A and B are shown apart, each in its own frame.
Chain A
């Protein structure tokens, strides 16, 4: 009988809806005009449709960002849902753009959409990858920097998912500490 198995036709729903953003550093335009939503998605199939048809992060021009955030949260610390939070930051060296960047970004996205942070998944806002000549950066943004245990567990799960060796330390920066300061002077709230 040619009755279709529903499993093969129904898209697999995600716990959350997500928006993928693109930022291109066009100095001739206002910063906010350079930041746009590519699309939103709330199923596994739509995620793959999007991911398979967008340029890999490693091939973006310098100065560009990709961000994937829960629908309703803008990829900026000023957003009410980001303000009290912070980000786990992974700094890549120049050679890691070709060796690690795309894998790190995909593994991070799979953790996001699959709710891979267990009971702490509600504390996740989104993730951003910044393509920069001086070294690319990947950030996982959380909702509340004061939730220390939850934030540390999120950091450990991120390292585990990206196969970051335990001896490599990553740092968590609270947005309230970084707002308006040059990147290098910022002190990590904690590390794992």
Chain B
């Protein structure tokens, strides 16, 4: 099946989203 993957930059980007 598909795997939900987040790379480091995406995770850091989401750190500051409201």
Chain A contacts to B: CB under 8 angstroms: 8, 12-15, 44-45, 48, 52, 107, 110, 113-116, 121, 161
Cross-chain contact B7 with A114 (CB below 8 angstroms): yes
Cross-chain contact B11 with A121 (CB below 8 angstroms): no
Task: Tell me how far the C-beta of B9 lies from the nearest C-beta in chain A, rounded to whole angstroms.
Answer: 10
Sample of 20 A–B contacts (CB below 8 Å)? A8-B17, A8-B18, A12-B6, A14-B6, A15-B4, A15-B5, A44-B11, A45-B14, A48-B14, A52-B15, A110-B6, A110-B8, A113-B11, A114-B5, A114-B7, A114-B8, A114-B11, A115-B4, A115-B5, A116-B5
A-B contact count (CB 8 A): 40
Q: Give the number of chain B interface residues (Cβ < 8 Å).
A: 13
Enumerate chain A residues within 8 angstroms of B7, measured Cβ to Cβ: 114, 116
